[in-house]
Structure 1
């Protein structure tokens, strides 16, 4: 096994995200608005609808926003939320055109070039239309990250749910292959965009694929408990999540041993299975 996957200098603390929780989780119990706990299903997956709304087995749960958002520095954009969420098809197309235009400009020309006038021009909308949905370009970038993470997490959760009854190793390999595909497709947004917009890091600390899929990842491992040897499953899951993502990121950025994608998938699968079962 090549040693480069050990390129893990630190394992950052993963901040809990309300979208991680199962139906009985404390975040839901604290956040449900006018919804009796007794009406919730005894067990279910949390599907993210948006940054402030979840759905558990068909029941929508408004989530309370984090109370510990740090104050902004002087001159820094503080309003990084959407002004309104598009609901009709035409509005959704407009909002998506704005986020996609922003990504194109940042990739090609850098964040400083992504003025609201330039974004509106590339998106083919008026500046007035842009401001109906977003107060500034930082809010557009945050929305782009949210959308990318939400879509990626939905794909992973579906694969995990469909793999619950399969043996651990082939199921994990399928998940690893999907993770590589997702991070390769969205490498800039998931790994690089905050380098150009560092002021958004404090507002997006919980916006990660592993946070949005954590409860389903845990349920998947619990379903395969008979194959596992680790004594602390929750800690083991955090280590596997971080090690996998760090290695995929390092592979996409550097690939120092010049291995193929199939070899990477084999190695990270073997790493995870050996750690969990030996």
Structure 2
């Protein structure tokens, strides 16, 4: 089991070229945020924007539009009932689905639209409510594309059938293979020491983080960061590991002076940390 260090950031985060534009840093769509949980998709969006996604769009309930644009004017908006949602999904590089999505009929409809419109070239990050929905119906798992699953331990229990005391590395990997054998997929199992697995034998543990991060929205923010990192630096075990490590590193910095780590405060730290650990610029 590899223990992550700050070196993972310098391996993954690369300088931006002078001759580039926003499209070079990935097209990311986040889907979620029903009438009650709009904050979840907004925190995921802030994580994505602050982690450097080039173009960020959000498919959410119309009620969230004003709050989203007030906090994050960088993000584009589409009503998740819009008939053009399938077309938008197909245009994106990465889709993050689940924060604040809920599990009602509309949520299932959105998941079905996603599952039937993802292409082989895309990556889908499934988080929160999306994981609960696929635990009820595996047909809602996108049939194509690369996958990243980001459950906390209770969500993983519902998805895998493994009770939390029995979520050992061997059992987790076996359950993950049973669920997604033959797919390009990575599991980010969130806990006080998050573990990361793929289906090719790579395993990593994140040794940092703090109890101040035990607050609603931390996982949503991580999902946004993971999506942004894949959009910029491509899908790989290292890319996703770096996103996990950066999330905790930012949280540890906030925790030094604060009893609670608000996810929005964590997100604000991301651009300066990415600049600090950017490989070539750190040597200058």
TM-score, reference length from structure 2: 0.27
Which structure has the larger Rg?
1
Higher helix share: 1
TM-score, reference length from structure 1: 0.27
